[in-house]
Amino acid sequence: MRIVFLGTSSAVPTVQRGLSSLALLRDGELLLFDAGEGMQRNFIKAGIGMNRKMKVFITHMHADHCVGLLGLLQTMSLLGRDKRLDIYGQPRLKEFLLENMRIISFGLTFEVAIHTIEGEGVVVKEEDYCISCCEAKHSIPAISYRLDEFDRPGLFDLEAVKKAGIPEGELYGQLQRGQDIEYNGGTIKSADVVGPPRPGRKIGISGDTRPTDKLAGFFDSCDILVYESTYSHDKLEIAIETFHSTATEAATIAKKARVKKLYLTHFSARYDETSQLVSEAQAIHGNVEATDDLKTVDIPYQT
Ligand SMILES: [Zn+2]
Ligand SMILES: [Zn+2]
């Protein structure tokens, strides 16, 4: 699994940072979270590819999080995308996309399915992962997302079953599914030849929000939390006024949620560099990093 930060600035782009967008690549699929204006340049720079299996999730309808989707759709069409694209967001997203596509006379080369999210809970459930959402607290309706990979079965001790003389086939399957088997007059316990389930990875993505207890619960035990850190804590008043979070608040919610690693993002254009924000967050949470445009993070399975 890999995360590529495509845009890490809030509200306005800077020389160094584009508007919000994050690409999460896993098992050949791209999950794109937010698409601020101009994000497609970093999308191309990152070499992600315009015709891959892909889903898009939008946190809220502020321009710096969704306007880039139009340009991305158009570029994908110009490059001849032929794979269906699934887009998820609040009711206004569908309205925004359909109206703009009508006015601009988009000719899409691929099918787009726009899914409207009305409440909280599971948004997408696939064979090996799900994505759910939770209400955020912003100046307009906004949601945060969380990806949970399902636990994988434990490792099968092939050597042990071979040693016990068990023939390959259905009996292997039964053991792997957790069933004990009778063989050669004795019992072979599944637990003796199959290790404990291996935990899937859990990723939280805040979008724009004030910190809330509800979100602390929603992000519980994430391996990675990408959380907005628009301001340093000396600007708490502005953060409250504009419904954003400070780096201190990002670290506090990460600690409360027992998150393993916190990535700060969505920085106000006033910060040329982010060391002040990282330091104040590190005073609270032991594992914090700032994001930059095109920063890439590989996330191995946790052991
Ligand atoms: Zn924003
Ligand atoms: Zn916003």
Which tens digit of pLDDT belongs to each residue from 132-157?
A: 999 999 999 999 999 999 998 889 99
214 CB-contact burial (10 Å; exposed 0-12 / middle 13-18 / buried 19+): middle
Q: Is residue 212 part of a domain?
A: yes
Which one of the ligands is nearest to 265 CA?
A: 1
Residues 190-237 have pLDDT tens digits of 999 999 889 999 999 999 999 999 999 999 999 999 999 999 999 999
Which one of the ligands is nearest to 243 CA?
A: 2
CA dihedral 72, 78, 84, 89 (to 10 degrees): 20
CATH number, domain containing residue 253: 3.60.15.10
Q: CA distances (Å), 231 to each of 43, 163, 185, 211, 259, in order?
A: 26, 61, 69, 13, 21
Residue 163 identity (one-letter amino acid): K
CA dihedral 268, 219, 65, 277 (to 10 degrees): 10
Instruction: State which residues form the domain around 125.
Output: 2-152+198-298
From 144, 169, 193, the end of a domain falls on 193
Residues in the chain: 303
- Compute the distance from residue 9 Cα to the ligand 1 centre, in Å: 8
Mark whether 21 and 77 lie in a shared domain: yes
- Compute the distance from residue 240 Cα to the ligand 1 centre, in Å: 14
pTM score, whole prediction:
0.93
What percentage of the chain has pLDDT greater than the value 90?
88
- Compute the distance from residue 293 Cα to the ligand 1 centre, in Å: 15
**How far is residue 21's CA from residue 134's CA, in Å, rounded to a whole number?**
19
From 173, 193, 213, the end of a domain falls on 193
| Active-site annotation holds for 157 | no
Q: Is residue 135 part of a domain?
A: yes
Instruction: Please state the φ and ψ torsions of residue 44, each to the nearest 5 degrees.
Output: -70, -45
Which one of the ligands is nearest to 19 CA?
A: 1
Q: Is residue 303 part of a domain?
A: no
Q: Is residue 19 part of a domain?
A: yes
Mark whether 35 and 121 lie in a shared domain: yes
- Compute the distance from residue 141 Cα to the ligand 1 centre, in Å: 12
Mark whether 102 and 8 lie in a shared domain: yes
Residues 244-283 have pLDDT tens digits of 999 999 999 999 999 999 999 999 999 999 999 999 999 9
Mark whether 167 and 266 lie in a shared domain: no
- DSSP sequence for the chain: -EEEEEE-BSSS--SS--BSEEEEEETTEEEEEEE-TTHHHHHHHTT--SSS-EEEE--B--HHHHTHHHHHHHHHHHTT--S-EEEEE-HHHHHHHHHHHHHTT---SS-EEEEEP-SSEEEEE-SSEEEEEEE--SSS-BEEEEEEEPPBPPPB-HHHHHHTTPPSSHHHHHHHTT--EEETTEEE-HHHHB-PPBPPPEEEE--S----HHHHHHTTT-SEEEEE--B-GGGHHHHHHTT--BHHHHHHHHHHTT-SEEEEE-B-TT-SS-HHHHHHHHTT-SSEEE--TT-EEE-PPP-
Mark whether 9 and 73 lie in a shared domain: yes
Mark whether 293 and 233 lie in a shared domain: yes
Contact yes or no for 264/273 (Cβ under 8 A):
no
Q: Which pLDDT belongs to residue 175? A: 92
Mark whether 227 and 263 lie in a shared domain: yes
Q: Is residue 47 part of a domain?
A: yes
**How far is residue 187's CA from residue 281's CA, in Å, rounded to a whole number?**
54
Contact yes or no for 261/223 (Cβ under 8 A):
yes
Model confidence at 92: pLDDT above 70: yes
Count of structural domains, the chain: 2
Mark whether 165 and 142 lie in a shared domain: no
- Compute the distance from residue 55 Cα to the ligand 1 centre, in Å: 20
Mark whether 104 and 131 lie in a shared domain: yes
Q: Which residues fall inside 5 Å of ion ligand 1, going by CB?
A: 10, 64, 208
- Compute the distance from residue 205 Cα to the ligand 2 centre, in Å: 14
Q: Which residues fall inside 5 Å of ion ligand 2, going by CB?
A: 62, 208
**Tokens at residue 220, please?**
């519980």
Mark whether 107 and 240 lie in a shared domain: yes
- Compute the distance from residue 3 Cα to the ligand 2 centre, in Å: 21
Among the options 34, 64, 148, 208, which is catalytic? 64
Q: What mean pLDDT do residues 180-194 have?
A: 91
Contact yes or no for 28/106 (Cβ under 8 A):
no
Q: Is residue 225 part of a domain?
A: yes
Q: Is residue 241 part of a domain?
A: yes
Residue of 120, 107, 303, 269 whose CA lies nearest to 196: 303
Q: Is residue 168 part of a domain?
A: yes
Mark whether 185 and 280 lie in a shared domain: no
Mark whether 177 and 116 lie in a shared domain: no
Which one of the ligands is nearest to 65 CA?
A: 1
